[in-house]
Amino acid sequence: MLEADFIIVGAGSSGCVLADKLSANGKHSVLVLEAGGTDLRFWVQVPLGYGKTFYDKAINWAYLTEPDPGLNGQQDYWPRGKILGGSSSINAMVYIRGNEQDFKGWEKAAGKGWSWREVRRLYEELESGPLKITNPSHDLHPLCTAYLEAAQQAGIPFNEDFNGQTQEGVGHYRTTIHGRRRLSAARAFLRPAMKRPNLRVVTNALATGLEFNGKRVTGVNFTQNGKPMQARARHEVILSAGSVNTPQLLMLSGIGPAKHLKSVGIDVKLDNKHVGQNLEDHLGVNYIYRAKVPSLNNELRPWWGKLLVGLRYVLFGKGPLASSLNQGGGFVRTDKKRKSPNIQLYMQAISTLKPKAGERPLLTPDEFPGFALGLSSCRTESRGFIELRDANPQTPPRIVGNAYSTKNDIAEVLAGVKLIRKIAAQPALKNVIAEELRPGPQVKSDAALIDDLRTRSGTVYHPACTARMGKSKADSVVNPRLQVHGLKGLRIADASVFPNNITGNTNGPCMMLGARAAEIILEDYAENKSS
């Protein structure tokens, strides 16, 4: 039996920051249980290694959704990190804070403590601490520069920093890469904190359920390498298992929609119909072009190119291996009446038409020069949900994405792909494009474009809101202090508590949330209050 003041389940983006900040003053003992293993793996540390880790089941939960009518009946692939650092160890490293309108939604749902002003303070604290954000503006591929010029020719203003005064416009992304290595939440926060005697991290520890004493959560049952174990929390358990596994663990522990729990043979501890519901995600698609000029394909595809890229990385820590492929992009409003962007843009100076068994072929792109112009939705109306298939903690949960299930969601991406074509038609890009390969110029009518969107879109890996935060059990799972309504000793801190998703990539907001969670918990225990 392990014992600590606080037990954190999951060492992902939120969990790593929380573990660091809760253990920093040395007053509390903290135990982290992580289902995955060490992040000290070559393709995790090398930034472009995310192509290799994309399907690697040793470090990835590798979920599949149910067949989705919105995706023409296809199942969508959902990678999630199962490793120290969680999804921040396998993600594409784009760093985005979100915008004022996103957090107006949070403030409306959960009060002043989650206002734009408060979260900006937290971002500034993180970014002036261990979270080093890289600005790769000096290292842009010429095709990326051409894209930025074309977008401006299409009327979109240049934005030097999406995390600055305004999010809107086109520009280059900043990244969570430091030196030559990925700066995951584990590298930035957890690993330095692991030197403290009051923080213990147990890996390969799969939490299987919560222990209760009446309405108080007192500990966690877990298995380590198949062996059943228990950990007791003197103060609290905090779930940071991510937006798929946190609702799964709640339901396995009897917290969730009563009818559903009974249908899979689980005793109901607390009926809450919002657990696993309100799933909000971002969906994206790429338009792919053959280029008349060299792209990263020319550097990464031939064996001698790989050799040069490898040498450049080893000798100087630079080049494609040291970067995210999402160099350029932006945030636009397809409807000027909106207060904030509804479409995110991406530009990658690489094309990968042919899949490669077991990996995303980022390191073996097409044999001809090519590039991709992509987009994703920002604030969708479609809502999916997560349910259990049975009472076995090893069984992957049922993920129902409900992609593009409202007229508005499909109309937004339709306007977005028309904008991509408008950008591609501007002189700066037109002159370097040989042809549009996907979907191809024959796909023209709205009906054909929508059919293509439904066939080729997929998640861009930002699911959130499945145990959302709000003021009462009538609308949410946790209160503004992240405590599960109706229980003592249990909080949640990860993407599942977002009241609404944010505009852009979700790693930054998850780390910010981990920092806020630590502040709240430390405040509560400094006042000797128990939850």
Ligand X SMILES: Cc1cc2nc3c(=O)[nH]c(=O)nc-3n(C[C@H](O)[C@H](O)[C@H](O)COP(=O)(O)OP(=O)(O)OC[C@H]3O[C@@H](n4cnc5c(N)ncnc54)[C@H](O)[C@@H]3O)c2cc1C
Please give the residue ranges that form the binding site for ligand X (CB under 6 A): 9-15, 33-36, 79-83, 86-88, 90-94, 96, 205-207, 240-243, 245, 249, 461-462, 494-495, 505-508, 510
Tell me the three state secondary structure of residue 115: coil
Helices (H) then strands (E): counts for the chain = 16, 22
Q: Which is nearer to ligand X, 348 or 426 (CB)?
A: 348
CA 30 – CA 517 distance, rounded (Å): 14
Question: Least Å distance between CB 301 and ligand X?
Answer: 22
Q: Which is nearer to ligand X, 454 or 462 (CB)?
A: 462
- The burial of 324, by beta-carbon neighbours within 10 Å (0-12 exposed, 13-18 middle, 19 or more buried), is given as buried
Q: Which is nearer to ligand X, 489 or 504 (CB)?
A: 504
CA 495 – CA 462 distance, rounded (Å): 9
Question: Least Å distance between CB 83 and ligand X?
Answer: 6
Taking CB atoms, the residue at the shortest distance from ligand X is 12
Q: Are strands 328-332 and 169-172 parallel, antiparallel or unpaired?
A: antiparallel
CA 497 – CA 134 distance, rounded (Å): 28
Radius of gyration, CA atoms only, the chain: 22
CA 498 – CA 495 distance, rounded (Å): 6
Q: Which is nearer to ligand X, 385 or 424 (CB)?
A: 385
Alpha-helix runs per DSSP H in 66-112: 100-110
- Token reading at 381: 């109306």
DSSP string, 55-70: T-TTSB--EEPPPBGG
Judge contact between 150 and 139, C-beta under 8 A.
Answer: no
Q: How many CB atoms lie within 10 A of CB 357?
A: 6
Question: Least Å distance between CB 360 and ligand X?
Answer: 9
> Which of 300, 347, 304, 335 is CA-nearest to residue 320?
300
From the candidates 141, 274, 462, 485, give the one annotated as an active-site residue: 462
The 10 Å CB-count burial string (b at 16+, else e) for 214-241 is eeebbbbbbbeeeeebebebebbbbbbb
- The burial of 529, by beta-carbon neighbours within 10 Å (0-12 exposed, 13-18 middle, 19 or more buried), is given as exposed
CA 187 – CA 131 distance, rounded (Å): 9
Q: Which is nearer to ligand X, 33 or 399 (CB)?
A: 33
Non-local CB neighbours of 20 within 8 Å, separated by 6+ positions: 130, 189, 190, 192, 193, 518
Active site residue 172: no
Query: Alpha-carbon dihedral of residues 439, 443, 448, 449, nearest 10 degrees?
Result: 50
Angle at 213 between CA 33 and CA 528, to 5 degrees: 75
Q: Which is nearer to ligand X, 102 or 436 (CB)?
A: 102
Active site residues: 462
